[in-house]
Chains A and B, each alone.
Chain A
Amino acid sequence: MPASPNPRHRVAVTAIGLVTPLGGNVTENAAALRSGRDAVTPVTSFKVSRCRAKTAGQVSGSWSFPGAKAEWHRASHFTTAAMQEAQNGDPQFTPELAVIGTTSGGMSFGERFHRAQIDRRRPAERAGWLANYMPQKAVLDGLDVCGWSAPMQIIANACASGTNAVGHAFQLIRAGMQRSVLCGGYDAISELVYVGFDALQAATPEKVRPFDRGRSGLVLGEGAAMLALEEWESANGRGAPILGEVTGYGIATDNHHLTQPHPSGVGPRLAMERALADAQCPATWIDYINAHGTATTFNDATEGTAIAQLFGSAVPVSSTKSMMGHALGAAGAIEAVFALIAIREQFLPPNLNYQEADPAWELAIVANESRKAKVRRVMSNSFGFGGTNASIILQAA
């Protein structure tokens, strides 16, 4: 990749917001990460009796916003809550642009519309379903509630969407093309997507066990995460809180198959190599890797291989999806915030349900319990359908 002709501005994270199955804000999530809470529970929002898998990480709780409407999709609620938390963390932050990742928007409203066609019903709510189904709606709702009138770029790069959103926002600020960008991701569980992963036999009926020899598949999750990114001097000049810094981003496309990564791990390896080069950071400087770690046979095999090739067995690795499932388009943004929590609170989030090492590679898995550590730089990985691979590097302020 050719070198950027642009100046390299530093990129500060001045605020974060988080809604996940582990908690409705950053504080609750940090406590859950530290305690290693398992937030995976039986699915409640649709029938799973004919699926192999029966569980998911599901967001609980409710929110109330001025201007919120009854017909909003729950994804709008997650997204708005995460944006509001970020806004409360840095009230002076004003985004010039919003770059948000998602995979399925308000899909469950599309499902209801479909069922109504088959049932030959035209319920009054259908107008609300349509208006709130599209992926841009949750972002518009959140921006509107926060009083932010920013253009939006909504990235749908499957499970890498959230990391792509943070990475693209970072690149724009670093190059001096934007001063402040709100970035993040959101997704809400839907029947169609749940059954899709079940049909592919990518979802597990058991506990989710990333990197374990006996791993048997992923568990879906949901949530939203937002990060306020700002050019360092600008943030510093106005006395904004600086929670951390984004320093590198790598993206790679693996053309092996629509849903399966190349067995060599070339896609993940290229993304990680490019992020390290972008950050001008040797692999030995990374203190922790928040892995994509879906616990599918193929993902963990390729990611594990790529991590072992690049980092050896010295860098601690965990997949926080073991606690809350895979939040798809939100996952990368959620895990970027988890990385900042690990840096701020100096601990390594655990990889739950880990029993036996996979002999295919030697990795320093943070098994089952969090632990104190000196954490200055974190790499966060996201890989998805379509061969999208993305890695970002965050570091202490």
Chain B
Amino acid sequence: MNLAGIDSKAGRLEAGVAGIGWVTPLGTQLHGVWQALQSGVVAESRPIENPETGRLHQVRPVSPKLVEHLARQPRLRRSSPISYFAVGAAMAALEDAGILPSAEARSATALVFAVSNGGVIYTRRFYDQIIRQGANAASPMLFPETVYNAPASHVASAFGVDGASYTLVGDNAVGIAALHFGSQLLALGACERVLVVGCEEIDWILCEAFYDWRLASTPLSEGAGAVLLTRDAPLRITTAAAVPIFRRAEAGAALRSALGNQEGEWVISSGDRGFAERIERRLLGEKGTWVFPKRYFGEAPGASAVWQVIAGAMALRTCEARSVLVPVVGFNQQAAVATLR
């Protein structure tokens, strides 16, 4: 390791985890949700209907009550649920780290967002207006919330961040890619801390897409996870650039390459009895303690990998684990790994 926390051989970067926060279908309390995960509590599911065909999909939503207090934020008045989740998780992570709003805190903090589908509710509603009512009737209120970086903008506004803000898009491994991007910003010396937020929201059209694409083995869910990275926090996270997956058959080799010789006493899996779990089990064996957050949360592509990392951080905080491995086999883009100790 050199000064900037770079392991140049493997391209790995190390940073400290100073704060964590989440908004999940199982709640927002760090310990409460962690205990629920360990107890095998499955988030409540409900059907969401495709109004065009009547087809029902089971999803695991976040209770609106968990984020309704955020409606007082002026920028959130017209925003989509994804921005509420993002602001809620970001606030929780900053509070967990004991960061109070201040001019210094704002100017020294960078934001990195992970999204997979972004503001899909407003995107669908906006395009629906175009189709049914005509382009001249489409609401200008909806369009700005359809851009991928709208949640990042709302979080930047809520906390007054005026420096670097990046939104990364990708498959369900994008959360690890965002954490690595955040570690890059720290290593560059561009800021003192980086708030990494992964977020997702549910809509029926997303359910249709996942169903048609045969990715619907795990119910879709929604929410956000936030991790505040600093250089020196004692809980350490190591990441590397994700390994690309050009064809699904390459996923195992991609994860093997991402893993290298990294190990963990605990494994926080990206699987849920399907493709990803089979690959992870094949490569990592049965050793250690395995946790499968998606069995209880569901799959929230932009948020899932960040939730895995937060679960790993909780395992360390509660002294249940001394080291944690977080592998992610993405749907169609990349395999990535984080380790925590």
Pick from B157, B165, B177: contact of A157, CB below 8 A: B165
In the complex, are the beta carbons of A386 and B162 less than 8 A apart? no
In the complex, are the beta carbons of A154 and B169 less than 8 A apart? yes
In the complex, are the beta carbons of B167 and A117 less than 8 A apart? no
With A117-B205, A192-B127, A200-B140: A135-B244 Cβ-Cβ less than 8 Å: no
**Listed residue (A110, A143, A196, A201) with the most chain B CB atoms within 10 angstroms of its CB:** A196
In the complex, are the beta carbons of B138 and A177 less than 8 A apart? no
Chain B residues whose C-beta falls within 8 Å of the C-beta of A96 in the assembled complex: 11
In the complex, are the beta carbons of A175 and B187 less than 8 A apart? yes
Pick from A50, A113, A156, A251: contact of B149, CB below 8 A: A156
B188 within 8 A of A: yes
Specify the main secondary structure of chain B where it touches its partner. mixed
Pick from B130, B162, B189: contact of A255, CB below 8 A: B162
Size class of B's contact patch?
Answer: 35 or more
B166 within 8 A of A: yes
In the complex, are the beta carbons of B169 and A156 less than 8 A apart? yes
Which one, B24-32, B33-41, B208-216, is touching chain A?
B208-216
Chain A residues whose C-beta falls within 8 Å of the C-beta of B181 in the assembled complex: 153
Q: Within the assembled complex, what's the spacing in Å between the Cα atoms of A164 and B112? A: 13
In the complex, are the beta carbons of B167 and A195 less than 8 A apart? no
Which one, A3-11, A219-227, A303-311, is touching chain B?
A3-11
In whole Å, how far is B120's beta carbon from the nearest beta carbon of chain A? Answer: 9
In whole Å, how far is A84's beta carbon from the nearest beta carbon of chain B? Answer: 16
Q: Within the assembled complex, what's the spacing in Å between the Cα atoms of A151 and B6? A: 17
A199 within 8 A of B: yes
In whole Å, how far is A383's beta carbon from the nearest beta carbon of chain B? Answer: 13
In whole Å, how far is B113's beta carbon from the nearest beta carbon of chain A? Answer: 9
Which of chain A's residues has its CB closest to B215's CB?
A130
In whole Å, how far is B86's beta carbon from the nearest beta carbon of chain A? Answer: 12
In the complex, are the beta carbons of B148 and A156 less than 8 A apart? yes
Chain B residues whose C-beta falls within 8 Å of the C-beta of A134 in the assembled complex: 116, 169, 171, 332-333
Chain A residues whose C-beta falls within 8 Å of the C-beta of B108 in the assembled complex: 2
Chain A residues whose C-beta falls within 8 Å of the C-beta of B192 in the assembled complex: 2
Pick from A149, A201, A385: contact of B147, CB below 8 A: A385
B153 within 8 A of A: yes
In the complex, are the beta carbons of A177 and B149 less than 8 A apart? no
With A127-B213, A144-B246: A158-B333 Cβ-Cβ less than 8 Å: no
With A50-B136, A156-B149, A387-B156: A251-B164 Cβ-Cβ less than 8 Å: yes
A168 within 8 A of B: yes
In the complex, are the beta carbons of B115 and A136 less than 8 A apart? no
Specify the main secondary structure of chain A where it touches its partner. mixed
Chain B residues whose C-beta falls within 8 Å of the C-beta of A1 in the assembled complex: 163, 190-191
In the complex, are the beta carbons of B134 and A253 less than 8 A apart? no
In the complex, are the beta carbons of A157 and B167 less than 8 A apart? yes
In the complex, are the beta carbons of A115 and B131 less than 8 A apart? yes
Chain A positions 101-123 with a Cβ under 8 Å from a chain B Cβ: 102-103, 105, 110-111, 113-115, 117-118, 120, 122
Chain A residues whose C-beta falls within 8 Å of the C-beta of B304 in the assembled complex: none
Q: Within the assembled complex, what's the spacing in Å between the Cα atoms of A172 and B265? A: 32
With A192-B130, A199-B140: A5-B165 Cβ-Cβ less than 8 Å: no
In whole Å, how far is A326's beta carbon from the nearest beta carbon of chain B? Answer: 14
Q: Within the assembled complex, what's the spacing in Å between the Cα atoms of A263 and B236? A: 42
- 6 smallest CB-CB distances across A and B, nearest first, come from A386-B153, A196-B143, A151-B241, A156-B148, A4-B189, A199-B140
Q: A192-B146, A255-B157 are in contact. List 11 more A-B contacts (CB 8 A).
A: A2-B192, A50-B134, A97-B241, A114-B127, A127-B212, A151-B177, A155-B167, A191-B127, A192-B127, A255-B153, A386-B167
Using CB atoms and an 8 Å cutoff, list the residues of chain B in contact with chain A: 3-4, 6, 11, 50, 52-53, 75, 108, 111, 115-116, 118, 123-124, 126-128, 130-132, 134-136, 138-140, 143-150, 152-154, 156-157, 160-171, 177, 181, 184, 187-192, 205, 208-209, 212-213, 241-244, 246, 332-334
